Structure 1
């Protein structure tokens, strides 16, 4: 058959916040199928078989049918290639370890042109999956070869490069479970939890409460031991040494066996255990010296190494290490036996997806030294039945949280508090963690800042522990969610007047307000940028600012279509009109129903304890009220919908005698001189109307600002002179 031309990707746009498709970030792709518009899946001979051979898990996709095999049914009946590409990209993301369940494909007003979207936690990963999915689909269409495994590997590499590490991801997931918003602050693992003045920050398992002094102490193992010993925490005897001669002298003074390690190393690098011979001590000194600035010699504590995680003064998880051995067969080398007997364990691998590390004998200096102590080399062939110790304490990845004795937990918690760490990984050695250290002769050997969480999240044996939840509960009280009041105003005209007035009223109400609108970017009453700031990035900057405890944002239908909203949820969402139709042709928004889907985004994100403020003079906006999770406040100069809303006990704002009337049910409160403020706007050379000012009054009332303060605020608001 003749080759079909590639599907053209006309436009690729990352919607970073809630949008017309979903609450979450998505990649929106505009596709031109070209002549493939005439070839749905059932009209391409052999296409369905080729595609499902490449991606057999497509059988699991429900699609619009709502059950397993739904997408396969659509393929058989005939579906267009834009829809197929959606599912191919989603499946590649699934195979790459970033499960993605959401996708949609819709036709546009242009024949053969579609908008396809899919959930995108990270823009670069999404773009990589799109490129691979596009190539795979065209290969299946044209019966060409395609290496799916290589494509998945490339996407997985991008995931590893761009996505949060497992420890940070677990904390962020726990925050999401508690409806705490998050913002990623760099390409790594620095994450803001919450907004504005109520935010907290984490960097992997460190928090903004983690003391720099405590971190410095934890890096100095000798100082750590000294402080712990002073408060009665058992630690191994030891001393710092400057050379191999001193190391051997110290070993003899302490009594063999001993441990030699760097004073400021981490991850167990350069640590050699159970040393009994002079040659081994000297070799261990050289190894430790290469991995730290100073070398310690300590009395060897019998038992297994354990890692206990302390969060906010409490032990929340514990894991145990174990020895790794091989048994000789008289035929294979040590390296070969390690690969056969240890590395074949499916729990071992090179990435963080595996709870146990793959052992690379030639590259691990500690293993090489242990082999040397057993008079072996990596290429030696152990005799049949000969047991060879490879690792004295391998990955600490066997969960033992339930076994921790209360006395052990107390001592470990005391150790973390003594160093001053709010989150700490405490390493101790004991033969039995279910008994007090005083009975087993166990001791604490290290206290670590910024501990890894993977061993507790994905243990090689035992139950995973909810350590992310423990850290979130440490950072936020049970009744806290890190949120500040956010007001989102979506208007085609007058939005800057509404947002300026609302920000002024919040200021009078004692709030430190950030405002992003067409008049600029404001912190309190100070304008920090003059250029129009009704943009995603400007609003996002306010959410990151620790100095604000309320944010007001002006949006438009165009900004929602281009970027999405800058916030995941808001306290008050305002929609004033549906007059943007005719201004959104580049987005292919040409009907009132399409515009409704865009504008409803602002109402969809209102919190359950928040409110939507809607113009009751517009019938479409009255219909939008039922979409709000919270309260609805209507405003209008006059509308039958106001009376019906009040009959149900709802709140409404209307104009009477030049003043705003705040009504709920049968009660009415008059105030806020709208007519006088309109005259001040006119005198300043700015045109506004009464409905716009009523929207501001209704928004302030929805924020529970008192009618008296609203009235005083409008009387004292001074419009700027028009430029």
Structure 2
């Protein structure tokens, strides 16, 4: 059907509604990406084929867009898409990619998808190398699209592009760092940028090495200090019998003149601790020149010392030594221009600087020639002014030193050097003690022995630049990053620590702790992230909700960690993606309704897609440990590049169990539950092998086998540990010694006895979690009643959920709680998450009331005590010996401290001075006690409390 052709938009209003930076795998891509949510506004009605001249103007500004293949798969495919008609969100994606390519970032991945239910709103996703540059590219792309639709007089695209490129140069890695990182990536060595400069961590955890430009973790600080002291360097080299010039260190112009007389003219004056050739004055032939040069050199010296040394005549060579071996040699030619008999010196400099390879500082392979007073004076010494026209082929120098940073060029001489000269350079690096060293030779020809032809070592440089070797102006590039990475990671040396990622709606924290506990038993130094914080080798180092990507990176940066267990939450994946590129094992416990209606996730299927990101991050030699009992989790097997390990509570003969058994018959792995007269046995299956692991009732975390959700968690942990190489005995021992004590599992099924009241503290905060907790409570209460003659046991529950949940989820939580507790007390979290105080509690309480009176529903009373500590005191005051109290907590540390303090107080009912009486008999006393605790919102609701 033909589309009507609009007359044109009144005003372009393409805007960015939201921007996110994914620093790892995410729901859109396996790689780091920028995500823009854009609104086309009126431009939704104007695809590119309805905008006359739009495509041509865009290609004129960014001609390399013709290289974009887009979905056509051929060069020019994107241009064809624009001519036949595509929406402007798609155009912004390609422009953002091309802008990054203009800055030297080779990015080609991108996609644009409409937001469901929001016409004209699109998700624009594209790759990035530097997140600051990537975000700036997206912003400039949107401005440019609007400008091309209707000219914006305030937008000068050429100027904006120049500002964008300048910013990219400032934040980009330099050539030396980039060369090392490219080599590391080619070997599958991960890296983490540690600052905005060139400090980078290669590898993970205990295997990490660091570099700053070309200085490495193995570079000795003392060697760097020696190399920075040119006088000390010369003394050490001379004592080793290596050729060096005569020199003296001075602190005054008079001292410099006197030293020059003793050494003999011509001389060189340079700062003792300078670099990049700054402050170096050559070929000084009288005392006045020396005095003038002293002022220049002193200005570049950090400590005020200046060196006067004999002038060594010859060509300038830089020998790069890595690990004691010569790797590359470059001849450095000072900044100069060649006359053509037509243009002035100034014009020749401008033409030379127009070379796209030249930039500012070290950002590009060559540096622009700087015309300053010193350069003009040098040109004048050669008989020319800046506005004179030198004869054809006449070389006019604009700097005396051959440093690349002053605009010089390099010629590769790696294979021209005489073996004696190579040996001298290698010996110099060993004498100073540098693992990576730049040896500056001045000699007539590097191909002839300097001991015979004359010449000397002028400097030994720590952290030498690589660009003269990797990007020589003349000659073949040398791949010198390889020996540097070999030095840090010898062939066969590991660079990664095993990563186990655990996600799911419920149970992921406990499963993570179980895995960490098992691996700790194997002697591993485990780093773990969870909703409670970051734990390094069983020590809590950061107390916060640490289930996001930043916490994962903190673990991988810790030099003690040799095994990582990451609890991965939905929010972190949606906000920033994963904090790493891949995980060796992914565990998915379940997918249940929670967090729906947030960040565009409205259905269980969408939530499952988010959780599946950790499965997609499994490599071919990795494993995904999946819950076969959950249909949404079962579907994730299709997204796994590695092998699948199933775990299942299903009984033999069921459809799910048959599915798992079929998987094992084909050589797969699984963890299943075999039910016998003696109890339930966890069994690990691998192909035809069947290995009994442990009786569930002997695992402390399962409360005698009654907590089936912890049985499932233990099976998931066993599958992950088995996939990680743990032996059967180590897994068994780990599960047998893992308890739900507050020390090992804070806030997760912690049990404490307070004056014969059985108190269970758990984090349960959603309806699916409450349902399995209630099922456990039924079995546990039955077991307890069978063990003790306590008569009727009352169950009292304190429940709550986060304020950012949907109202129907709050209501459902209360409805489920009503099925399992005689009394439900509703509280609220400290953080209300955008709700008014009392809103969340009222909706949960309404869910409880909706079920009260139904057949099979236990609850006969619901109360609201908003403050958490007050709610704890509230229920403990009304509980009788033998009762079961379940506390769904937010601040578990404060709750456990309160319970511990209660154990030291007098028994309820002894009527000490501080006794509050029995709220079962006096409901008014309960309200008064809650008010005294600071919560005036406490109130008794509905029917009076039943007598327990």
TM beyond 0.5: yes
Instruction: Show CA shifts across 1:643-673 (max 9, x none).
Output: 1221121221111132211111111110233
Residue 595 of structure 1: CA displacement? Answer: 4.4
Query: How many residues of Structure 1 are paired with residues of Structure 2 in the alignment?
Result: 718
Name the structure 2 match of 1:125: 133
2:437 aligned counterpart, secondary structure: strand
RMSD: 2.8
Deviates more, 1:707-716 or 1:150-159: 150-159
Instruction: Show CA shifts across 1:518-565 (max 9, x none).
Output: 233212222234433212222221111112111111113332122111
Correspondences of 1:355-434 after superposition (within 5 Å): 355-363=365-373, 365=374, 367=375, 370-371=378-379, 389-394=397-402, 395=408, 397-434=410-447
Residue 213 of structure 1: CA displacement? Answer: 1.0
Instruction: Show CA shifts across 1:251-288 (max 9, x none).
Output: 34333332222221111112122333444333333322
Instruction: Show CA shifts across 1:418-437 (max 9, x none).
Output: 11111111111122112222
Unaligned runs of 5+ in 2: 1-7, 403-407, 651-656, 742-749, 751-760, 762-891, 893-948
1:718 aligned counterpart, secondary structure: coil
8 A Cα contact 1:520 1:527, kept in partner: yes
Name the structure 2 match of 1:151: 160
1:229 aligned counterpart, secondary structure: helix
Cα distance change, pair 393–26 in 1 and its aligned pair in 2 (3 A) = same
Does 1:80 find its partner at 2:87?
yes
Name the structure 2 match of 1:674: 696
8 A Cα contact 1:93 1:155, kept in partner: no
Instruction: Show CA shifts across 1:378-412 (max 9, x none).
Output: 67888999875443443252222222223222211
711, 715, 721: which one pairs with 1:700? 721
1:94 aligned counterpart, secondary structure: helix
Does 1:652 find its partner at 2:670?
yes
Name the structure 2 match of 1:513: 526
Instruction: Show CA shifts across 1:153-185 (max 9, x none).
Output: 122122123222222122122111111111111
Correspondences of 1:76-225 after superposition (within 5 Å): 76-110=83-117, 111-144=119-152, 146-225=155-234
TM-score, length of structure 2 as denominator length: 0.71
Aligned mates of 2:330, 2:349 — CA distance in 1: 25
Cα distance change, pair 134–385 in 1 and its aligned pair in 2 (3 A) = closer
TM-score, length of structure 1 as denominator length: 0.92
Name the structure 1 match of 2:19: 12
Aligned mates of 2:596, 2:270 — CA distance in 1: 66
Residue 136 of structure 1: CA displacement? Answer: 0.6
1:240 aligned counterpart, secondary structure: strand
8 A Cα contact 1:47 1:143, kept in partner: no
Instruction: Show CA shifts across 1:484-529 (max 9, x none).
Output: 1111011111000100000000111101111111233212222234
Aligned mates of 1:42, 1:426 — CA distance in 2: 61
Residue 444 of structure 1: CA displacement? Answer: 0.9
524, 539, 544: which one pairs with 2:552? 539
Aligned mates of 1:622, 1:566 — CA distance in 2: 25
Residue 686 of structure 1: CA displacement? Answer: 8.3
465, 469, 476: which one pairs with 1:463? 476
Cα distance change, pair 134–312 in 1 and its aligned pair in 2 (3 A) = same
Deviates more, 1:67-76 or 1:685-694: 685-694
Deviates more, 1:148-157 or 1:490-499: 148-157
8 A Cα contact 1:558 1:584, kept in partner: no
Name the structure 1 match of 2:929: none
Name the structure 2 match of 1:665: 687
Aligned mates of 1:539, 1:330 — CA distance in 2: 63
Aligned mates of 1:386, 1:531 — CA distance in 2: 68
Cα distance change, pair 595–439 in 1 and its aligned pair in 2 (3 A) = farther
Correspondences of 1:211-290 after superposition (within 5 Å): 211-290=220-299
33, 48, 59: which one pairs with 1:52? 59
Instruction: Show CA shifts across 1:338-392 (max 9, x none).
Output: 53786566654435455443333324x3x45645755777678889998754434
Aligned mates of 1:99, 1:387 — CA distance in 2: 37
1:418 aligned counterpart, secondary structure: helix
Name the structure 1 match of 2:36: 29
1:606 aligned counterpart, secondary structure: coil
Correspondences of 1:57-76 after superposition (within 5 Å): 57-76=64-83
Name the structure 2 match of 1:607: 619
Name the structure 2 match of 1:314: 325
Cα distance change, pair 559–270 in 1 and its aligned pair in 2 (3 A) = closer
Aligned mates of 2:392, 2:149 — CA distance in 1: 57
8 A Cα contact 1:201 1:207, kept in partner: yes
Correspondences of 1:341-360 after superposition (within 5 Å): 343=353, 348-352=358-362, 354-360=364-370
Residue 320 of structure 1: CA displacement? Answer: 0.8
Aligned mates of 2:538, 2:669 — CA distance in 1: 30
Does 1:445 find its partner at 2:445?
no
Residue 626 of structure 1: CA displacement? Answer: 4.7
Name the structure 2 match of 1:336: 346
2:646 aligned counterpart, secondary structure: strand
Cα distance change, pair 197–83 in 1 and its aligned pair in 2 (3 A) = same
